[in-house]
Amino acid sequence: NEVALGKEHSITVDDSSLKKPPANFNSVVARGQTEPDPKEDTSITLDGKKVIVPAGKPIRTIYSSSSF
């Protein structure tokens, strides 16, 4: 949540040919089958800035066919 990714290119299967984001994208994001439940996120303050920390148990995502 705290990283500037720019325009994301999402993938759900490994693509070893990707050495950099495709044209018109700033980053590549591998979307997995699970992620921490965002309802259980917590926050801390670092250097005066509020930072969200994922703390929930894993839940299924919309990427159920992902190989990640």
The whole-number pLDDT of residue 4 equals: 81
Tally of structural domains, the chain: 1
pLDDT in tens, the chain (68 residues): 467 889 999 999 999 999 999 999 999 999 999 999 999 999 999 999 999 999 999 999 999 999 99
Q: Residue holding tokens 């980053």?
A: 27
- Decide if 2 is inside a domain: no
The whole-number pLDDT of residue 2 equals: 63
- Decide if 1 is inside a domain: no
The beta strand positions in the chain, using DSSP E, are 8-11, 27-30, 34-36, 42-46, 49-53, 58-60
Total-model pTM: 0.69
- Decide if 22 is inside a domain: yes
Q: Which domain holds residue 43?
A: 8-60
Reduced to 3 DSSP states, what percent helix, strand and coil does the chain have, rounded to the nearest 5?
Answer: 5, 35, 60
Question: Which residue in 42, 22, 34 sits closest to 63, CA to CA?
Answer: 34
C-beta atoms surrounding 64 within 10 Å: 9
